[in-house]
């Protein structure tokens, strides 16, 4: 081991021996405050990036959606305490894919267009004139009627519906990351270990001394 490393270790050990337990506790409390703050900042940044994805989804700009998802993935995968839990869902992109599927199903080039057109007629009364009504009532009704009218056929040949899971994204957050949050947490763990070792050592020393006094 180089001399400079030995000197550094000697200084660290000397500091550990000299510093008092109550001082270590104070350091731990300060470290916990900073680590909690940095972990919170990581979580807030993740929430902001997730909101960017949702806004991009509403805009319908595919390039913007892709960029926002990449930014979110990059941040989550390199910062602790950024778990997405249930992930982020793109409802608008899914709805646009559904609309495209229905448009393709009703096209004259689709040999099963008559099935879709009949379903559209049957479900027309469900549409109340709003985007929400169209997507939640009319579209759901058409999908159900297409399946019912397409008995004996492969439903996917009548209407190729997008899969919801293809529009659900989730990324894994690391248990530890080399950022301010990670280093502050590591500092707290080290101080906690030093306090624990010192506490256990004192108990052991007292037990040994007590045993020796009994032997005298």
pLDDT per position as a tens digit, 40-86: 999 999 999 999 999 999 998 999 999 999 999 999 999 999 999 88
Residue 213 inside a domain? The answer is no
In a domain, 156, yes or no: yes
Q: For residue 185, with 0-12 CB atoms within 10 Å meaning exposed, 13-18 middle and 19 or more buried, which class applies?
A: buried
- Residues 82, 116, single domain; the answer is no
49 and 117 fall within a common domain: no
The total of structural domains in the chain comes to 2
Going from the C-alpha of 40 to that of each of 25, 37, 80, 197, the distances in angstroms are 22, 5, 10, 30
Do 67 and 96 reside in the same domain of the chain? no
Q: Same domain for 79 and 184?
A: yes
Residues 120 and 81 in one domain: no
In terms of C-beta distances under 8 Å and separation of at least 24 residues, what long-range contacts does 132-135 make, across chains too?
A: 135/95, 135/98
- Supply the pLDDT for residue 152: 47
Q: Is residue 9 part of a domain?
A: no
d(CA 76, CA 42): 9
**Judgement on whether residues 96 and 125 belong to the same structural domain of the protein:** yes
Note whether 101 and 141 are same-domain residues: yes
pLDDT at 1: 46
Residue 63 lies in a domain: yes
Say if residues 181 and 42 touch (Cβ distance below 8 Å): yes
pLDDT in tens, 107-123: 655 666 677 777 778 88
Predicted confidence (pLDDT) per residue in 7-42, tens digit:
665 665 556 567 788 888 999 999 999 999 999 999
Percent of the chain clearing pLDDT 70 (strictly above): 74
Residue 69 belongs to some domain of the structure = yes
Domain that holds residue 39: 19-87+170-207
Asked whether residue 56 falls in the same domain as residue 157, the answer is no
Q: CB neighbours of 123 closer than 8 A, spacing ≥ 6?
A: 138, 141, 142, 145
Mean pLDDT of the chain: 81
- Is residue 127 domain-resident? yes
Residues 69 and 124 in one domain: no
The burial class, CB within 10 Å (0-12 / 13-18 / 19+), for 142 is buried
DSSP letters, 185-203, are: HHHHHHHHHHHHHHHHHHH
Distance separating alpha carbons of residues 203 and 21, to the nearest angstrom:
14
Q: Are residues 190 and 143 in the same domain?
A: no
Query: Within a domain: residue 14?
Result: no
* CA 65 – CA 83 distance, rounded (Å): 20
Residue 154 and residue 185 share a domain: no
**CB proximity list for 16: less than 8 A, separation 6 or greater:** 194
Q: Is residue 133 part of a domain?
A: yes
Question: Between residues 123 and 214, which one has the greater pLDDT?
Answer: 123
pLDDT attached to residue 115: 74
Q: pLDDT by residue (tens digit) across 143-197?
A: 777 777 764 454 445 567 788 899 999 999 999 999 999 999 999 999 999 888 8
Asked whether the whole model's pTM tops 0.85, one would answer: no
Together in a domain, 69 and 106? no
Q: How far is CA 77 from the centre of its chain?
A: 9
- Token pair 């997008």 is at which residue? 162
């Amino acid at each position: 081991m180089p001399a400079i490393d030995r000197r550094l270790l000697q200084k660290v050990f000397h500091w550990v021996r000299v510093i008092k337990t109550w001082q270590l506790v104070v350091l731990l409390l300060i470290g916990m405050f900073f680590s909690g703050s940095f972990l919170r900042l990581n979580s807030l940044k993740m929430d902001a990036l997730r909101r960017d994805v949702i806004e991009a989804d509403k805009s319908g700009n595919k390039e913007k959606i892709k960029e926002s998802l990449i930014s979110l993935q990059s941040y989550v995968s390199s910062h602790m305490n950024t778990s997405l839990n249930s992930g982020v869902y793109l409802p608008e992109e899914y709805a646009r894919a559904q609309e495209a599927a229905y448009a393709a199903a009703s096209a004259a080039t689709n040999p099963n267009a008559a099935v879709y057109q009949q379903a559209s007629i049957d479900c027309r009364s469900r549409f109340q004139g709003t985007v929400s009504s169209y997507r939640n009532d009319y579209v759901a009704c058409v999908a159900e009627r297409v399946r019912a009218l397409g008995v004996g056929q492969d439903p996917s040949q009548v209407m190729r519906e997008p899969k919801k899971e293809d529009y659900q994204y989730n990324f894994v957050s690391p248990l530890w990351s080399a950022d301010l949050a990670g280093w502050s947490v590591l500092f707290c763990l080290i101080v906690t270990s030093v306090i624990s070792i010192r506490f256990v050592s004192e108990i052991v020393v007292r037990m040994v001394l007590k045993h020796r006094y009994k032997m005298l």
